[in-house]
Chain A
Amino acid sequence: MLFSFGMDCLEIKDLTVAIHGQRILDGLSLVVPKGEVHAIMGPNGSGKSTLAKVLAGHQDYEVVSGQVLMDGQDLLAMEVDERSRAGFFLAFQYPYEIPGVSNANFLREAVRARLGSGEEIDAVSFYKRLYGLMDELGIDRKFTGRSVNEGFSGGEKKRNEILQMAVLEPVYAVLDETDSGLDIDALRVVAEGVNRMRSPHRGFLLITHYQRLLNYIEPDFIHVLAGGKIVRTGGKELALELEETGYDWIKEGALATA
């Protein structure tokens, strides 16, 4: 993609990323415009989480070359927390635990970090909104008092990521395998949560291994990541095809197009 989409998209241009000198992403380009849902699929170890973490600003990854623009802003030049406050959200594949810090307290600090100086959170409306979102996501209200992710089951952690996303209302959200580990009901609830947030002012990038999620959250495009770049892009029918064929075709195909 040689032209720029401008303001209303998350635009990844020719991104090459290495860790400990080893290239993981190799000239990856992808554009997620506001209002669209894109899905990335691809074999284990192909670099999907690497892409997500590089976008979030994880220090372990070295950006060798390329550019990422979020609504025209140079995302890679921003601090991790600046990116978040500017509207970038990552639902982690493996969310971290924060012992001793309650969920409610953590969310309140995250919301407070977005306020201007002198502004304060109104506790009553904060809790009202939080409880409302928890109810929608089927999260017990008792979870407000529990330490962030500590002792949460795999599925509870994933749901908690979606709760955080709902509270913070990002402009671009990357969901890294949020569906993995969810039971069938939870998957539906989480998908509904994401669908409620779909809007012309928000873009999503879903990382998943399963077509099932995409039945609930219908993507506009599906991309296949392999060999460090996007090797195929298609509509939602691509997921069905992948379910059939697996990734064996990449070995020859990717080499042929490289």
Chain B
Amino acid sequence: MSEDSATLDAVLVDQSQGNFAYPEDYELDAGRGLGPETLNYISEVKGEDQWIRDFRHRALEIFERKPMPTHWASAELDEIKFQEIRYYLAKGRRPTRSWDEVPEDVKRTFERLGIPERERGFLAGVEAQFDSEAAYSNIKEEFDKLGVIFVNSSEGLREHPEIFRKWFGKVIPSGDNKFAALNSAVFSGGSFIYVPPGVKVKHPLQAYFRINAEQFGQFERTLIIVDEGAEVMYMEGCTAPKFETATLHSAVVELVAMPHAKIQYITVQNWSSNVFNLVTKRGLAHEGAEIRWIDCNIGSRLTMKYPGVIMKGRKARGEVISIALANTGQHQDTGAKMIHAADETTSNIVSKSISIGEGRATYRGQVHIPKHLKGCKNNTECDALLINSHSRTDTYPAITVRGNRHATQHEASVSQVSEEQIFYMRQRGLSEAAAMSLSVNGFVNDLVREFPMEYSVELKRLIDLEMEGSVG
């Protein structure tokens, strides 16, 4: 086993999952800690232009200046040790860990989740590259014909600067929040997609079609631009738990829907309990355009994620559908941000959270409709399910609606899986865990249907697994 592959292994695989020890080799990555030299190193490796180097450095300054948002967010944020994090790993390294070395319980989890055979190796860190070359090359050919660009963000920057630069950092400026600034300073990996006018992409684009070691990085940056009347669906993540030692994941995703375009962005992520997942996602919808975020977050020590849509053109539509599941030791702080900036814009938020054991779920919503607009609509529903009395759930809906020419609706509920309900199900022969997971699946059922088939099946199994672990 070469030293560089071992380094990557150490990063991708949680060492607590087995007794592995890996040598660390600082020459092959940016090392630990954050400073201007970290940024220079990344730009050097990627051969970046001056403008992007400047962009990174400006962002770093913002990051350093901005305080932690602990005045409203969880104080747990103070526990992130920024100087102990590795911000970049040189790409192209292949891990040589073999399947036999993957811990049994990890294999079992894949099995239980029904993760396709061909994806397991990649997810377990056995393969750096998801083996989908054949599938991807067919799609690539089709894309070339249609003029669709689907590359990683570095390639996007390099090969398509004219489109990339116009929108990059425009929907989410570096100064948006501390973690968006951090991402802007050290980003690597993520996707760049451009769909030309009128093109309706038939297949959902999946992040792992062209994944490499960098793609699942901690600081992905994704930019999707869908031109007039075009449509695309993008999927990222998977239900398999990610085995990694990296404790900070901070991505930025920017979507641009030109007039009458449609974008659906689907995320399913299952983090281990040591991960801080602090993600900024926002879309800009022009006239008559539609942006939908469908988001499922499971696990993590702390997730902060509030996908948003700025409805900039008349009759634009924004939607956030989210499921959050927090088990003991986990905190899901999620929600949505809907900024109405034109007449007759419509937004819809449906959020469901599940708190198990000591798990904590928080909903934060922001709906903004200024006074000068007319005919705007918002619907917000947030439902929380508590699995036992220690769980905690908070809702902070902030709906600022000025003027009276709008229609808004807000509903919130908190429910418990009642002991009587479980008793009833057990009387029919279901184990306590099976009864729990059936109830929980029932709670999120209508949202799970919004996910593509293979994801919804995996989601169901994942909930089963979580319930099994949480019941005596």
A binding-site residues for B, Cβ under 8 Å: 56-59, 79-81, 83-85, 89-90, 92, 95-101, 105-106, 109-110, 113-114, 147, 164, 168
Contact = CB atoms under 8 A, between A and B. Distances in A.
B424 A92 contact: yes
Contacts of A168: 428-429
Contacts of A92: 424, 427
B457 to A, nearest CB: 14
A56 B422 CA distance: 13
Contacts of A95: 424
B85 interface: no
Contacts of B420: 96
B90 interface: no
Interface of B: 418-421, 423-432, 434-435, 438-439, 441-446
Contact of A101 (B423, B431, B442): B442
A98 B442 contact: yes
A90 B424 CA distance: 9
Contacts of A85: 429
Contacts, number: 75
Contacts of A57: 426-427
A81 B441 contact: no
A113 B429 contact: yes
A110 B441 contact: no
22 contacts: A56-B423, A58-B423, A59-B419, A79-B426, A81-B432, A81-B435, A83-B427, A84-B426, A84-B428, A85-B429, A92-B427, A95-B424, A96-B421, A96-B423, A97-B421, A99-B442, A100-B444, A101-B441, A110-B428, A113-B430, A113-B431, A114-B429
Given A95-B424, A98-B438, A101-B442, 6 more contacts: A79-B426, A98-B442, A99-B443, A105-B438, A110-B430, A168-B429
A110 B429 contact: yes
A134 to B, nearest CB: 17
A84 B427 contact: yes
A101 B460 CA distance: 12
Which of B432, B438, B444 has most chain A Cβ within 10 Å? Answer: B438
A147 B442 contact: yes
A93 B305 CA distance: 45
B181 to A, nearest CB: 41
Contacts of B435: 81
A100 B434 contact: no
A145 to B, nearest CB: 12
Contacts of A83: 427
A168 B421 CA distance: 19
From DSSP, what is the main secondary structure of chain B's interface residues?
helix
Given A106-B438, A109-B434, A109-B438, A98 B428 contact: no
B424 A100 contact: no
B430 A81 contact: yes
Contacts of B445: 100-101
Contacts of B421: 96-98
A92 to B, nearest CB: 7
From DSSP, what is the main secondary structure of chain A's interface residues?
mixed
A80 B428 CA distance: 9
Contact of A106 (B418, B423, B425, B426): B425
Closest 4 CB pairs of A and B: A100-B442, A101-B442, A84-B429, A96-B424
Contacts of B429: 81, 84-85, 110, 113-114, 168
A100 B430 contact: no
Nearest to B428: A110
B427 A56 contact: yes
B133 to A, nearest CB: 34
B460 to A, nearest CB: 10
B439 A106 contact: no
Contacts of B432: 81
Contacts of B428: 84, 106, 110, 113, 164, 168
B438 A101 contact: yes
A168 B429 CA distance: 9
Contacts of B423: 56, 58-59, 80, 96
Contacts of B441: 100-101
A195 to B, nearest CB: 22
Contacts of A101: 438-439, 441-442, 445
Contacts of B439: 98, 100-101
Contacts of A106: 425, 428, 438
Contacts of B438: 98, 101, 105-106, 109
Contact of A80 (B427, B434, B446): B427
A159 B425 CA distance: 17
A218 B302 CA distance: 62
B43 to A, nearest CB: 50
Contacts of A98: 421, 424-425, 438-439, 442
B426 A100 contact: no
B387 to A, nearest CB: 15
Contacts of B419: 59
Nearest to A89: B427
Contacts of A56: 423, 427
Contacts of A114: 429
B427 A90 contact: yes
Contacts of B427: 56-57, 80-81, 83-84, 89-90, 92
Nearest to A111: B429
B353 to A, nearest CB: 15
B44 to A, nearest CB: 53
Contacts of A80: 423, 426-427
Contacts of B442: 98-101, 147
